Structure 1
Amino acid sequence: MRRREKSEAGSAPDTNRAVSDAIGFTLMFAIIIVGTGLISFAGGTQLSTLSDVEEVRSAERGMESTAATLHPMATQGDRQRSFSIAFSNSNVWMNATVLNVTTRDGSVDYSDLQVNALQQRFDRSGDDVTVRYEAGGVFRTNAVPAFDPSFECRSGSSETALVTVVNLTLAERDGLYVSNGYNSDLRFDELAGNSESPVTSTDESLTFEARLVDSEQSLTEGSVVVNTTQTAGPEQWGMYFDDQGGWDNLTDNVYECSADQTLVRVVTIELDIIEPRFSG
């Protein structure tokens, strides 16, 4: 009887230990599963964010290439060029924007010059990002210009202002429209070239033909004033002028170069989509 009682008394700790080990294993397994899920979620979010950033950077580089392509047309009189813009999960469109360029003596008066902006818009859940070519420069939301426009205020024995404004227009045909602000119905990626099918794939691009259709310039004495209030991004224009030497910020979005001589050149370039191009 004593041996039996001793044997029964000794089995209780073994049973409790087994139960404790089972519970511990279950908890550890659950922690591993939850931890793995959290790491996977965080890693997926990070990859998504990095992908979004790279898309915008790629678009910015593409728009810089566009600006470099159009620059000789504005400054050297090249008659025709072509360039491409990849969609990269974005919407491509033309925004109706206005720049005001006048001289103090009144001889130059572009008070409502519709320059228009070629824009690429990325939807980011309310925090959208736009990369655009406007009046010769490349700008991005909340960033310094990626490609400077040609608004020079040179100092020396006599101060000189050299202003070159690129005015974009679109060929007159179906599918190409300038929009007053973003309009999802007037995106270039909805109807590209002569194709009747909407272009929506992320690995496709539009090929544009650019033609120089007009160029005029005025040389005058005295200072020049630039008002960027009606551009697509006065804040980014402000960053540009603040970084340039010689330009005085008179009031919000208004800048002056107090020059002895001013040369203002306005170049009009017409864009047409000549083909959708598919990479795969």
Structure 2
Amino acid sequence: MRAKTNRAVSDLVAFTLVFSVIISMIGLMTVGGVGALDDVREGTETNVAEATMLGYAETLADQRASDAPRRSTTIKLQGHGLERATSAISVTVDNGSGTPVDGKSLSTSAFVRSTDTGTELVYSNGALFRVEEGGFVVVRLPPIRCDANSAHLPLTAVRGSVNVSAENRVTLRSEVADRSLVYPVDASDASADSVEVDVRNTAYPEAWERVFEERLPNWTGSNGVYSCDTDRAVVHRTAIDITVVN
């Protein structure tokens, strides 16, 4: 009888230990699973935010290149923040006269969307960068082109008091405020020997350095200053006013 009792106690203890181990494993799997789901959710939200900003960059590019003076774009911020940041670029054209033409800093500003994971999506002069803790990714290249025959630098300046954070959708109204020809100054002779671009005062100059050093052909230089030899150059700047409607 005592042997049966001892066996029953042993079986109960063994069952309790096994059950405790199973419960502990389930708990660990649950915690790990929740963390993994959170990572997936955050990654998905960031990817959606990137796609949204890429679409908005395409809208501004289309507006710059077309005759449409006004556009309205609705985007879902998902609780993220969107604000205009300071950014400027300098363009100098050497036309062989001995005196470089223009060289002043041209304000273009930038749009920065900050996510709740710390990722920032930066629209700057036609380019789009995804900036994270471990570095950055060039999502969209700027519409800058240069070769031995010609150089074309269309600059896009975003203006307006934009600083908004919302869970739902907001509408951004964009209106072309000004189109100006930076070079050639007299709109007739576009001849040039070289074009120099200084990106040291842009938003996220490190990203711009990668663009000129690795992604755009025919440019040489380093540390934020780059040049391209060419026979003619056209530089123009389009200023677009951005207003948050709701």
- Smaller-chain TM-score range? 0.7 to 0.9
What is the rounded CA distance, in whole Å, between the counterparts of 2:52 and 2:128 in structure 1? 10
Give the secondary structure class of the aligned counterpart of 1:150: coil
Q: Indicate the residue corresponding to 1:41 in structure 2.
A: 31
Q: Pick the aligned partner of 1:188 from 144, 161, 164.
A: 164
Q: Indicate the residue corresponding to 2:195 in structure 1.
A: 224
Q: Pick the aligned partner of 2:72 from 60, 78, 82.
A: 82
**Unpaired runs of at least 5, structure 2:** 185-189
Contact 1:140 1:236 in 2 (8 A): no
What is the rounded CA distance, in whole Å, between the counterparts of 1:92 and 1:72 in structure 2? 21
Mapping for residues 118-197 of structure 1, pairs under 5 Å: 118-124=111-117, 128-141=118-131, 142-154=135-147, 158-170=148-160, 176=161, 187-189=163-165
Please tell me the residue identity of whatever aligns with 1:188.
V
Query: Quick check: 1:244 aligned with 2:216?
Result: yes
For residues 38-64 of structure 1, what are the alpha-carbon distances to aligned partners after superposition, in whole Å with 9 as ceiling and x for unaligned?
111111111111111111111111111
Please tell me the residue identity of whatever aligns with 1:239.
R
Contact 1:144 1:240 in 2 (8 A): no
Q: Indicate the residue corresponding to 1:214 in structure 2.
A: 178
Query: Quick check: 1:65 aligned with 2:55?
Result: yes
Give the secondary structure class of the aligned counterpart of 1:146: strand
Give the secondary structure class of the aligned counterpart of 1:14: helix
**Unpaired runs of at least 5, structure 1:** 1-10, 171-175, 178-186, 190-199
Give the secondary structure class of the aligned counterpart of 2:14: helix
What is the rounded CA distance, in whole Å, between the counterparts of 2:75 and 2:224 in structure 1? 30
Mapping for residues 96-135 of structure 1, pairs under 5 Å: 96-105=86-95, 106-109=100-103, 111-124=104-117, 128-135=118-125
Q: Indicate the residue corresponding to 2:243 in structure 1.
A: 272
Q: Indicate the residue corresponding to 1:263 in structure 2.
A: 234
Contact 2:91 2:195 in 1 (8 A): yes
Identity rate, percent: 25
Runs of 4+ with deviation above 6 angstroms:
none
Contact 2:150 2:231 in 1 (8 A): yes
Please tell me the residue identity of whatever aligns with 1:108.
D
TM-score (norm 2): 0.87
What is the rounded CA distance, in whole Å, between the counterparts of 1:115 and 1:152 in structure 2? 18
Contact 2:87 2:203 in 1 (8 A): yes
What is the rounded CA distance, in whole Å, between the counterparts of 2:157 and 2:58 in structure 1? 15
Larger radius of gyration: 1
The alpha-carbon deviation at position 224 of structure 1 amounts to 1.3
Contact 2:209 2:222 in 1 (8 A): no
Q: Indicate the residue corresponding to 1:197 in structure 2.
A: none
For residues 73-123 of structure 1, what are the alpha-carbon distances to aligned partners after superposition, in whole Å with 9 as ceiling and x for unaligned?
2223431112123212311111111222222342132x3222111111013
TM-score (norm 1): 0.77
